[in-house]
Structure 1
Amino acid sequence: MLKDYKIREIPYLRVLGRTNGSLEPVTLFWTASGIEMNIKATEAWVTVRSDYELFEPWADVIVDGALSQRLMVNKGEQKICLFRNMEGDKIRNVKLLRDTPAFPTDEKTLFQILEVQTDGEFCPLEEPKMRLEVIGDSITSGEGGSGAGGEMTWNSFCFNCVDNYAYMAAKELDAIYHCISQSGWGVFCSWEGDEKQAIPPYYEQVCGLLNGERNKELGAFEKWDFQKFQPDVIVVNLGTNDGSGTKDMEKVGNAVEDFLKKLRDCNPESYILWCYGMLGNGIQSTIENAIQNYKTKSGDERVEFVELPDTLEGEFGSRQHPGHPSHEKTAKVLVEKIREIAG
């Protein structure tokens, strides 16, 4: 018989990604945020709540490391089956993730986890071997990961947080990660040159790039407590949009230096990898010079530039964004570099 459990009643639970800290309910703001559990049961469900004006959230159900479902979440409350009709004597690792990124242009955007129903028991989770933070733009948000190769429509469906270099690398490294990414944004400006659409000014907030009174009430604009999650490695993949949004490379370089200072202030012990190159390398020299300038001025040697492999013909997904082969190549480069760092 199924029994209802409020999230706070689950003895072993891992919340993934930045949240407001509440378990009643768990509010998911960013792509790849969610919950993780080990469940020994024949059946398990989760109750969620969703809202939107324009862009519906999508969710991923991952069982024992395999994607079992990817689905659109309807408005209101609904139950999502995590698994059923399974052998009840086996412990299964289950993740429910928000597949879609934050949507600043939709003030009603909402995805919350309310409770879990199961006929079994919750079991302890193994400690991850590593903690990562991944910061980026549409590439890191998984834009282009779903949909046909020729599809150019920008909507919720085109995003995919599992067929994605960040997810692939974390899985290979047995790591958990937080993702801070927004489609079209950069380190200094957006792909259209909007200087307000840059990640660094919002980095110290829970999810400050959202809009609307409800998101304010949910704590999206509150300061993030960095003691809750200190990453071993921070991966920054920004610069692609800046390259098309502005010709003022001095301002881009200054923004890179300033963001590195902020990252170090917030994360004193983290190793920082600034990555770039999946959609061309037009401003690589600007980024590399800025990193070197920062290191020279600060004496901080725990920062490196990593050139990522370009997306070649046949490796694109929808919206002319990197597809699975490209994300897979990038994940391999990152895993190799992070293992080198970890010794």
Structure 2
Amino acid sequence: MVCLRRVWGVFAPFLLAALCACGSRGCGREPAAEGQKSSLPKEIAYVGRFDLGDSARFAWSGSTIRVRFEGASSIAVRLKVASPGYGFNPPELAYAIRVDDRPKAALAVNPGEARYELAHGLDPSTPHEIALTREAEAFAGIDALLAVELPEGGRFLPVPPRRHRLEVVGDSISAGYGILGANAQCRFSFATERASITYGALLGQALDADVTIVAWSGKGMLRNFDGTTEDTMPELFERTLPTEPTSTWKFGSPADAVIVNLGTNDWFGGGGRPLEIRAFEDTYVRFLHRVREVHPRAFVFVVSSPMLEDQMTPSGPGTASELSRKSLQRVVERRRAEGETRIEFVDLEPQGPNVGCDSHPNAESHRRMAARLEPSLRAQLDR
């Protein structure tokens, strides 16, 4: 069995930096350069949480820009990319590109403002759709889309809506931490983090759903990995830009399904201090009430953590997996006793040897998570 203190020693250096990124007051908004103008066509479809103004600002994992056009053989964007700081290597920052729903090689980006070509050599007589997805998680900072550029003769088209909307609320697992890592020995880097191949993204592809990912490494429901109770996920859930406390999300487009994958850091963290299980469950129930308020039609899936396996925990007799599973089942039972009918607990299998950096789920684990969840989601969404 694995001791949670050993896990703390492995994760602590990175997660303390991630949890403290920008401080509790937020990173703040950088002023636009003098004379700077944006050119954002009204036909753009924004998937995720965006602060729309002169530019489109965003920071959550998996934030996606979808553009459809015709009459052009190429397309480019102007991006302003934040500098992640904390000694991370800027060239590791990347975006995923899909052209006509087929993945292309990752787009490497650098801090600062620059023009990036997303595709060329396309047939101008045929409509095309481009999807540009942020791979890095929230603490990398706030990026901004400044312009989308087509050559002369190109024309933007309305983007057809997906069949469903899915929202994933989670932590490092849902953000894709270490998903490309070769083994558990590698440490965090943006080079191994990929929101576009997480279980949430895979479910979106399988179910024809736009996916919003609201996830930040080290964050918990009651307490974060470092034991703090400030800026937990219930607080961050309310924000458009997670590092700006005053940026309030309006929840204008309710989801059809919500997956809540939280608790890993509540059980793992705390510096060896026991988790107050009743307080954790009370907080979880309150959060599910809030989810129901903002997503009135959604079916809610409360899922277990694949990272909690046979680790011993100071929070009670039994393993972290056993205790957390029973705790989540009690949470769901309490909501049902209150009259909630559109909710289900899904027990994800332990990840076993399928791990990436710092023992986080690798790509194979995420495929298994998606495969486990897909039948449950499909059964509800296809009704």
In which range does the TM-score fall when normalised by the shorter chain? 0.7 to 0.9
Q: The residue matched to 1:139 in structure 2 has which SS?
A: helix
1:335 aligns with 2:360: no
- For 1:274, the equivalent position in structure 2 comes to 302
**Distance (Å, rounded) in 1 between the aligned partners of 2:294 and 2:79:** 32
* CA apart distance, 1:191: 2.4
- For 1:111, the equivalent position in structure 2 comes to 143
Greater strand proportion: 1
**Distance (Å, rounded) in 1 between the aligned partners of 2:150 and 2:163:** 28
- For 2:267, the equivalent position in structure 1 comes to 243
- For 2:346, the equivalent position in structure 1 comes to 306
What stretches of structure 1 of length at least 5 have no aligned partner?
Answer: none
* CA apart distance, 1:197: 4.6
**Distance (Å, rounded) in 1 between the aligned partners of 2:203 and 2:60:** 18
Moved over 4 A (4+): none
What stretches of structure 2 of length at least 5 have no aligned partner?
Answer: 1-36, 309-320
* CA apart distance, 1:320: 1.3
* CA apart distance, 1:180: 0.6
Q: Is the deviation greater in 52-61 or in 236-245?
A: 52-61
1:156 aligns with 2:190: yes
**8 Å Cα contact 2:186/2:356 also seen in 1:** no
* Distance change (3 Å), C-alpha of 1:158 and 1:307: same
**Distance (Å, rounded) in 2 between the aligned partners of 1:203 and 1:127:** 24
TM-score of the aligned structures, taking structure 1 as reference length: 0.88
* CA apart distance, 1:7: 4.1
1:231 aligns with 2:255: yes
* Distance change (3 Å), C-alpha of 1:89 and 1:325: same
* CA apart distance, 1:6: 4.6
**8 Å Cα contact 2:257/2:299 also seen in 1:** yes
The equivalences for 1:13-28 within 5 A come to 13-22=44-53, 24-28=54-58
**Distance (Å, rounded) in 1 between the aligned partners of 2:218 and 2:246:** 20
**Distance (Å, rounded) in 2 between the aligned partners of 1:150 and 1:235:** 26
Q: How many pairs does the alignment contain?
A: 321
Q: The residue matched to 1:79 in structure 2 has which SS?
A: strand
User: What do residues 284-321 of structure 1 show as CA deviations (whole Å, max 9, x unaligned)?
Assistant: 1011102211221x2111111111122122x2222211
- For 1:125, the equivalent position in structure 2 comes to 159
**8 Å Cα contact 1:35/1:95 also seen in 2:** yes
Letter matched to residue 143 of structure 2: F
RMSD: 1.9
Give the one of 237, 242, 248 matched to 1:203: 237
User: What do residues 118-141 of structure 1 show as CA deviations (whole Å, max 9, x unaligned)?
Assistant: 222222322211011110000000
Q: Percent identity?
A: 24
**8 Å Cα contact 1:231/1:270 also seen in 2:** yes
Give the one of 69, 72, 79 matched to 2:105: 69
Q: The residue matched to 2:203 in structure 1 has which SS?
A: helix
**Distance (Å, rounded) in 2 between the aligned partners of 1:6 and 1:189:** 40
* CA apart distance, 1:35: 0.8
**8 Å Cα contact 1:256/1:291 also seen in 2:** no
TM-score of the aligned structures, taking structure 2 as reference length: 0.79
- For 2:355, the equivalent position in structure 1 comes to 316
